Amino acid sequence: MNLLLDGNAIGTGILIHNNLLLTCNHIFTKTQVKQAWARFDYKSESNNSKINLFELDINFITQSRQYDYALLQIKGKVQPKAISINENTILDSGQEIRIIHHPRGNPVFISNLGQIMQVGEDYIDHNLKTDDGSSGAPILNNQWELVAIHQGNVGIGRNFEPGTTGAIPIRSIWSQISPHFS
């Protein structure tokens, strides 16, 4: 889903359980967001209506600057089904992945297959092509299971291959977000 602030795209997010949205924390902290919306089913410019637009409760359910994630409640009844999550997925260098995102706030784009280039305890680096507005987007394995959320630039002080960007593995934040699924 596309995330909006004053009608402008600020990132991408994913419905992970009932009305819970997972995305990156930095998209809210860098813009000092006071009110935001999630837009579902934004597949084409002609589908740019307010029908599938839901306000977010920006009093985060939980968040972490260290792991750069935010879990938010969507106000209202959401129809789309939450994505399948496999928190125990083993991630390896060379593993094929893809991203579903809204680059530059454009309609949803499903990437071609890319690869995980490097794996750490609390990060992965990948070679998927992304852009502004991709932060918080779901990264999926070949079984279309959520395995990470796209973060963007690789952290300072870490070695990485040129042309790669970073993501947060679901397994590294699972113990912090899963208690909110009841």
Measured distance CA(135)–CA(102) in Å, rounded: 9
Annotated catalytic residue, options 68, 126, 150, 172 = 68
Annotated catalytic residue, options 102, 126, 134, 135 = 135
Annotated catalytic residue, options 26, 101, 126, 150 = 26
Say what the alpha-carbon torsion angle 47, 53, 58, 64 is, to the nearest 10 degrees.
-40
The token pair at 63 is: 């968040």
Q: Which residues contact 74 (CB under 8 A, 6 or more apart)?
A: 15, 19, 20, 21, 38, 54, 55, 56, 57
Q: Are 24 and 136 in contact (CB under 8 A)?
A: yes
26 is catalytic: yes
135 is catalytic: yes
The alpha carbon of residue 17 and the mean position of all alpha carbons in its chain are separated, in whole angstroms, by 14
CB atoms within 10 A of CB 64: 16
Query: Annotated catalytic sites, by residue?
Result: 26, 68, 135
